[in-house]
Structure 1
Amino acid sequence: MATPVYMDFEKPIADLEKKIDELNRLALDGLDIGSDVAALQGRVEQMRAEIFSNLSRWQTAQVARHINRPFTLDYINLMFTEFTELHGDRNFGDDHAIVGGLARFDGQPVVVIGHQKGRDTKEKVYRNFGMPNPEGYRKALRLMQMAEQFKLPVITFVDTPGAYPGIGAEERGQAEAIARNLREMASLQTPIVVCITGEGGSGGALAIAVGDRILMLEHSVYAVISPEGCAAILWSDGTKGAQAAEALKPTAKDIIKLGVIDEIVPEPMGGAHRDHEATAANLKAAIARHLDELKALSPEELVEKRYEKFRAMTRCAE
């Protein structure tokens, strides 16, 4: 298991778990302190439940970005078999911020695509911090069109702060690549299940998130811009991210009220980063349920219902 990384609001939990570690070291010397350790562990679980049942929107955004949170390749390893990664957009190159390929989901052939972040500095740079270039979106589209050709369901995992805004990306048609994905996904004649697992940032997320069913993990976020970016625009002060998060309302509880997503998938207590296996199991069960429902629809019905789904979102929230 990865070394625990605590967020600011988890400091009371960190202090208690530090004391538990100290007591466990004393126990190695033969001291009988089992009851003390058990009492502290019970207090930790109680405190964790209290904190995570009352997260602010800004705190939820921090959980969604946690460095130990499972990424697309983690979900692929835990939920799929026989994964074969496919590379390149057949135009410019291979974008490491988006991974995708063929796999089996409960024995059924599928195409799986998702954003991929990194954990250490080398991997973060290699994955471009999970921010795709145009070739990443064109690779994703190539795989989705292949899925349609062979009548395979598409499953996507969304976790990006946004599309890469660099000069090279703009020169190679970043906006066009995103717009083309939106158009093509809207009319793709095969089931599409979208899973928002961390950050769902703007068009960079939406470019692989036009689906028949959209699932969102309990502590993920989905918005047109990051809280810090919003604060920088509104108040010329990126440090007001917490204030912007309250205005954006990017959490799963907020988004489902707008009809943008179909289901909130629960996470283990303390967040997905604390138990990858349990998170993947919850998400896999939800995906399987929705895929079963979608497989009963004809290609024409899928496209029509998808169209109606996104048209129904064009209303103002109260």
Structure 2
Amino acid sequence: MSEIEKREPFEKREPWQWPEEHWRGLVNHVRAGRSLRPKTWKDGKRCAFALSFDSDHETNELRDGGKSIGRMAWGQYGNRVGVPSILKLLAKHAVPATFYVPGVAALLHPDEQRRVVAEGHEVGIHSWIHELNSVLPYEAEKDLMQRAADTLEKITGVRPVGARTASWDFSPDTLRITQEMGLLYDSSLMADVDCYELVLDGKPTGVVELPVEWIRDDAPYFMMLRFQNLRPYTPPSDVFDIFRREFEAAYEEGGLFQLTCHPHIIGYRSRLWIIDELIRLAKAKGDVWFATHADVARFARDHAAD
């Protein structure tokens, strides 16, 4: 490396010019630590089944300064039709779920959040206005996270114990803020299929990661943006088959099946049956534990096999 390259700040260099300590520092800042898969789940169940719904509603449009009435109407569908349909389905099967709600969406639809909690489900932090954490300074990100938590607590009467970043966008400060807020868990990262402890700069944090994955998310298969080259490309029957295979593998391994959906995406007549059939399939096994993300994270933390 030339003397000029050595004097340049790392951010101005090409990645192939970075010294080893720099790229190792980036990689090792937030890492997966010890696995938290229990030998068995609650009451001796073989597999844990954790449903989640990101109730973004109108904030998908608002976060980028958008003013599209059409896209905000799509968000309103999530509140007007999607969430009620999902809650009806969950009640039919007596299955709990976790709803991640931006603070602004909670303020727009407070009765929805109260109903979700009243029916036995969890409400978790999901940003303030669906902002991307990676573009925020530490102070702004922490303020918005705390404001969102305070808002959810004020509306529902329950303090959230877990968070999912908007668009799973995890900044270099997100884990530090999560730890400072005393949260039990995060559900934004993808280093495993089972719960694990998050490590910050080589030190275990005590924060449980309940991992997500795009393959277990409805949005990549069904999203529609009229003025962009994004159209639904996967038939619901094929999406069900992907989710089913993910569940069957989790069951065989004795692990966790986690699913992320969105009320304004999954909450249609031709799609909601996917959730219905997955629940039926899991119930037919006879030894699957249906739980909120908070309950899964807490059990995994307290009963990890190693």
Superposition TM-score, scaled by structure 2 size: 0.32
| Rg larger for | 1
Whose relative contact order is higher, 1 or 2, with alpha carbons under 8 Å and at least 6 apart? 2
